[in-house]
């Protein structure tokens, strides 16, 4: 069967590879789930993997099958699988266990190992392929009513984890009733974080570069968030105008923005960093001021990566709520479909060039989704 792959370390090496058809028996103890891939979303990570900025092939291969935002339909399950049946719509998680304590209790996203295993990213093949098989442990069911937007569940899980981390940390306050939040960045992750925060009843300001109106600004406003362009108002100014900010969710991956956000955080506030900055850039910051305010204001900054199945499940729940509260909103993310795995070049082109793209995704097996 066909798959889209790169040769890690070799820039712009994206190509079609050939893989053997997987089988439920590839997974031990009868726990295999064979999934027909329907859609796969792509993001900056895929772009960077194709640019050879990171990514590694699994042992025994010189290529890595890419794609970590999956959506598919179950074809067959092994004899020990309960609660998942052929025909179910599913999304697979991304990170696979290493050996740390956290990995052993299902929190692969919190591994302390040096090496991490992520399908489509690092040392494990991804989902830009016709079928995949995995342990039922890593397969999350999506209700049929969400099948049109199920491909957004992986980025949603990343937003859910970041927000959940903030709430967990704020248990230090015994009572935490956050009122105002800012989300930095209005790409899919930023918008999904804004959604999750709106669903929790917060007033949300989305701060992003582009001047409104854009599809991104319209999507923010459609869920009752405020949209602010940094070309008009800096993060610091926005915090003065619309704060105090109890929570800031950073989703730009730009370090100057993240450090400005530290200064913009309210007392007892929590800043969640989810954007990945691989650039190695050096910046200048008002270190003394930030440090003083952090200490005197009991502030927290936390980094958050990936997501375990708990956050995928929370994502399903919030996406179902969103479908009720903001019908049609999630569907508007699906701006740039690419038909078929063989159009991988178009996929990369849209990922780098498409203006107004929210989500570029590949329709791997469109018939399945309609059926």
260 interacts with, out of ligand BGC, Zn ion, none, CB within 5 to 8 A per kind: none
Nearest-approach distance from CB 275 to Zn ion, in angstroms: 11
Selection from 192, 202, 216 nearest residue 266 by Cα? 202
Q: How far apart are the first and last CA of the chain?
A: 21
Nearest-approach distance from CB 45 to ligand BGC, in angstroms: 3
Nearest-approach distance from CB 63 to Zn ion, in angstroms: 20
Across-strand partners of 35?
Answer: 74, 132
Q: Which residues contact 309 (CB under 8 A, 6 or more apart)?
A: 93, 106, 137, 138, 140
Reduce the DSSP state of residue 91 to 3 states and report it: strand
Q: Where are the alpha helices (DSSP H) in 142-286?
A: 153-169, 188-199, 215-222, 235-242, 255-264
Comparison of 17 and 192: residue with beta carbon closer to ligand BGC? 192
Element (H, E) at 1: none
Comparison of 45 and 186: residue with beta carbon closer to Zn ion? 45
Return the residues of window 39-58 that contact Zn ion according to CB under 5 A.
43, 45
Comparison of 91 and 133: residue with beta carbon closer to ligand BGC? 91
Q: How far apart are CA 72 and CA 105, in angstroms?
A: 26
Binding residue count for Zn ion, defined by CB under 5 A: 2
Return the residues of window 4-43 that contact Zn ion according to CB under 5 A.
43
Comparison of 63 and 227: residue with beta carbon closer to ligand BGC? 63
306 interacts with, out of Zn ion, ligand BGC, none, CB within 5 to 8 A per kind: ligand BGC
Comparison of 56 and 305: residue with beta carbon closer to ligand BGC? 305
Return the residues of window 291-320 that contact Zn ion according to CB under 5 A.
none
129 interacts with, out of ligand BGC, Zn ion, none, CB within 5 to 8 A per kind: none
User: Which tokens is 342 given?
Assistant: 């063989």
Selection from 240, 351, 272 nearest residue 228 by Cα? 240
Q: Answer for the pair 264, 232: CB distance below 8 angstroms, yes or no.
A: no
What x/- string results for residues 182 through 201 when contact with Zn ion is judged by CB under 5 A?
--------------------
Comparison of 103 and 118: residue with beta carbon closer to ligand BGC? 118
Q: How far apart are CA 223 and CA 159, in angstroms?
A: 16
In eight-state DSSP terms, residue 102 is H
Footprint on this chain of ligand BGC (rule: CB under 6 A): 43, 45, 68, 94-95, 118, 121, 154, 158, 305-306
Site residues (vs Zn ion, CB under 5 A): 43, 45
């Amino acid at each position: 069967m066909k798959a889209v792959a790169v040769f890690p370390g070799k820039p712009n090496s994206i190509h079609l590879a050939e893989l053997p058809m997987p089988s439920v028996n590839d997974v031990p103890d009868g726990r295999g789930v064979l999934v027909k891939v329907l859609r796969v979303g792509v993001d900056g990570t895929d772009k960077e993997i194709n640019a050879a900025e990171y990514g590694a092939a699994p042992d025994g291969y010189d290529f890595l099958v890419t794609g970590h935002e999956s959506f598919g339909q179950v074809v067959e399950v092994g004899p020990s699988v309960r609660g998942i049946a052929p025909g179910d719509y599913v999304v697979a998680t991304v990170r696979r266990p290493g050996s740390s304590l956290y990995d052993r209790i299902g929190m692969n996203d919190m591994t302390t190992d040096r090496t991490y295993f992520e399908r489509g990213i690092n040392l494990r093949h991804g989902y830009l392929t016709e079928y995949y098989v995995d342990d039922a442990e890593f397969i999350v069911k999506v209700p049929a009513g969400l099948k049109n937007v199920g491909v957004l569940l992986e980025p949603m899980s990343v937003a859910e984890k970041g927000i959940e981390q903030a709430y967990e940390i704020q248990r230090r306050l015994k009572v935490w009733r956050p009122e105002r939040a800012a989300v930095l960045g209005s790409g899919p992750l930023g918008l999904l974080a804004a959604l999750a925060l709106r669903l929790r009843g917060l007033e949300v300001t989305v701060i992003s570069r582009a001047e409104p109106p854009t599809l991104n600004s319209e999507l923010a406003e459609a869920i009752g968030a405020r949209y602010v362009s940094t070309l008009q108002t800096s993060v610091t100014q926005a915090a003065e105008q619309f704060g105090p900010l109890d929570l800031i969710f950073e989703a730009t991956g730009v370090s100057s923005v993240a450090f400005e956000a530290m200064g913009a955080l309210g007392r007892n506030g929590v800043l969640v960093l989810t954007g990945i900055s691989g650039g190695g850039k050096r910046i200048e910051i008002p270190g003394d001021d930030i440090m003083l305010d952090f200490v005197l204001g009991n502030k927290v900054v936390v980094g958050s990566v990936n997501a375990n199945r708990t956050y995928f499940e929370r994502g399903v729940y919030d996406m179902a709520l969103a479908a009720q509260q903001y019908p049609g909103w999630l569907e508007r993310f699906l701006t740039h479909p690419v038909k078929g795995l063989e159009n991988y070049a178009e996929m990369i082109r849209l990922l780098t060039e498409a203006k107004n793209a929210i989500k570029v995704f590949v329709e791997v097996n469109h018939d399945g989704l309609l059926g």
